[in-house]
Structure 1
């Protein structure tokens, strides 16, 4: 990996020798096919499994697919690639609606939140969201949809005239993602604490870079352990902040649902206080 990324500073003895000769176009399916298979299995399981973890793992899998398609964007037709990534985002959002309610319930059942009286309403809303998520994913026919996207993208790559060595391509894409993260961190470092959008951009950029490093690690020249450790910590802290912000938004957007159900103001006050605490924790990683 190019050290211009500023993220990697140790050599790896685990680089795949075969990656020297591999082409990016030929390697695509080896990355994409397992992800598509896993997402298909999770979508099928989500129809039967109402647990928070099932839909969470489906959303993560779809986000990883979106990042992989972003990585191969320079080798693909731009508009079609954007459409495919939008599809992954749509499906991830469908799964994520229920997950957002799960997070809110988990947060507001904490003893000091003062919001235990509105939890039944949260659980009721979660049940409605689950039914909607399942219907959306079922109507989308995730299995055939993802397989078609995989087949079309693989065909486009395999019939293209341009051929790029995997190691060169992977290094360029990881470095591009790393530069994006550094820019986002710089903006967030100088942003007001009330500017959540700047912090949210760090979270998204860090998550994308983590996925790309995980995809391409065997093909990269530099070691990635310290990089991944750093990215996991960024994702953890900025993700914890996002959980609180998303829960605040849910309560505001569904205020009518909680009318007469309990002290919503107490819940919002606790979430606001928790947001400040988590912003401070996330900001420490920007130094």
Structure 2
């Protein structure tokens, strides 16, 4: 019989039944989302980010442990709606931050960059899907969290399945998915594969995080996964920048055509000349594309040699969970 590892006080009781441990985890994640939603609702700093991360952690556990507990299609759909309602707003904030940081290196005047930012925000605000409706989010979360908590309390308890064994198998499958998508990223243009690898890394990390203190092999693995997720995220952001800027440029081209047809060519009409703004947008688009290619080359050089070590560390966690049974 394998000797059980000593766990730190307050660590997750991983050798108990899967459902019992899962209820503990889900209750904690629901509370985290509720706290983050309050910060978002009250306009607190970084409220949007806190809410998105807390919600992702909850959804990851619900997805991963669905065989042990399924809240139902309706609740899953409501959680998905909550998550998607903040996507474009987050992407815009990251894009705006990058544009503002480009002033010195790009050589584009601060005034034109400010106009680009204002126009992007205006376009985002005009999209009914893009903006963050804090009131709607609050109402949706209040209703969804209440239903989810009731489902957890009423769910049947299965004493035959141990949490550590379920989680060990889960980690193996999530690791296989992550490594599969990482191997598919061969060029800077493999945007879809990059996105899937980033999601897989994030899900694996969120599954592993609650095991800290209970499985010692998790501690050195989490920073590695965080680094991988962050680097994949930066690559994905650059692809999003190019997409959003190209969309903006197409809108400017349409506006330019409309102005030429009405012969409204007065440069003092109150806005910057469309040509100047379009030129700045093209320059920013090109810079984002170049950055992505440079970042990809760095990523490929770094992680080609680190994937074997990553796979070994994940495997050690999965084995340790089985040995704790």
**Backbone CA RMSD of aligned residues:** 2.9
Cα deviation per residue 1:199-249 (whole Å; 9 max; x = unaligned)?
1111111110000000233444x5112211210110111111111112222
Q: 1:139 to 1:33 in 2, by over 3 A?
A: closer
> Aligned-pair distance for 1:192?
3.5
Q: Secondary structure at the match of 2:212?
A: helix
Q: Match of 2:187?
A: 192
Asked if 1:166 corresponds to 2:163, the answer is yes
Counterpart CA distance in 2 for 1:200 and 1:216 is 26
Greater CA radius of gyration, 1 or 2? 2
Q: Secondary structure at the match of 1:163?
A: coil
8 Å contact kept, 1:36–1:147:
no
8 Å contact kept, 1:167–1:219:
no
Q: Match of 2:132?
A: 133
Asked if 1:208 corresponds to 2:207, the answer is no
Q: TM-score, normalised by structure 2?
A: 0.72
Q: 1:20 to 1:192 in 2, by over 3 A?
A: closer
Cα deviation per residue 1:229-281 (whole Å; 9 max; x = unaligned)?
21011011111111111222222334455552443211111111111122223
Q: Secondary structure at the match of 2:160?
A: coil
Q: Match of 1:58?
A: 51
Counterpart CA distance in 2 for 1:74 and 1:218 is 25
Q: Match of 1:175?
A: 172
Counterpart CA distance in 1 for 2:298 and 2:61 is 30
> Aligned-pair distance for 1:146?
1.9
8 Å contact kept, 1:59–1:93:
no
8 Å contact kept, 2:188–2:296:
yes
Q: 1:49 to 1:262 in 2, by over 3 A?
A: farther
Number of corresponding residues: 269
> Aligned-pair distance for 1:82?
5.5
Between Structure 1 and Structure 2, which shows a larger proportion of helix residues? Answer: 1
Task: Say which structure, 1 or 2, has more relative contact order (CA 8 Å, 6+ apart).
Answer: 1
8 Å contact kept, 2:211–2:218:
no
Q: 1:15 to 1:24 in 2, by over 3 A?
A: farther
More off after superposition, 228-237 vs 14-23: 14-23
Asked if 1:46 corresponds to 2:40, the answer is yes
Q: TM-score, normalised by structure 1?
A: 0.81
